[in-house]
Structure 1
């Protein structure tokens, strides 16, 4: 399988004072999230680029809402420690915006991620 990368955006970080841009990467059995947060006023203050490796067993559910005006990807985690490392997560759930031009990639990404997460659970039921 080739690598699938999906860019995302979160606008309301730190009560609207910052925004986050990032990339979901799925390569074979590895899922990672790379992101950087910057201030939403001028964009001069930026965090370092963070990379979080997530076990496929920690993914409980993935959903893509392909609305007319807004495209939203929601990932629900089964482990709150994993979700706590990500920006703007709430109760183990991460909601991100996807640009219209990446909607087809998002649909493929969700399908492959759900398949890989299910295979992981079947292969390693104790993890």
Structure 2
């Protein structure tokens, strides 16, 4: 039994439809992925710690023996940084998603270089028949 012949025009139309579907899907993914996440920084201020015991005695000696020296305790700040909302491309150090894609394509990394997969190995239909 021979192979069923298909029109070249039908093949081209199917390839164009698949390309449009694939590119519109990619654009949606790119637009979703390009929204940057936020790094949440929380600052907690703690009251100043008062020296105790020998530290307080030494501090008192220094303050009494020298002029123009004052003791001004400062609040202690604790920084809590939550980076769980950042995107992977932000963690690497890129400021924009387009820069990350350009870097990946230049260095042959990731799945960002598979723009012509519909010609060679598509899951739905093989167009190389």
- Greater relative contact order: 1 or 2 (C-alpha under 8 angstroms, separation 6 or more)? 2
Larger Rg: 2
TM-score, normalised relative to structure 2: 0.20
Structure with higher strand content: 1
Structure with higher helix content: 2
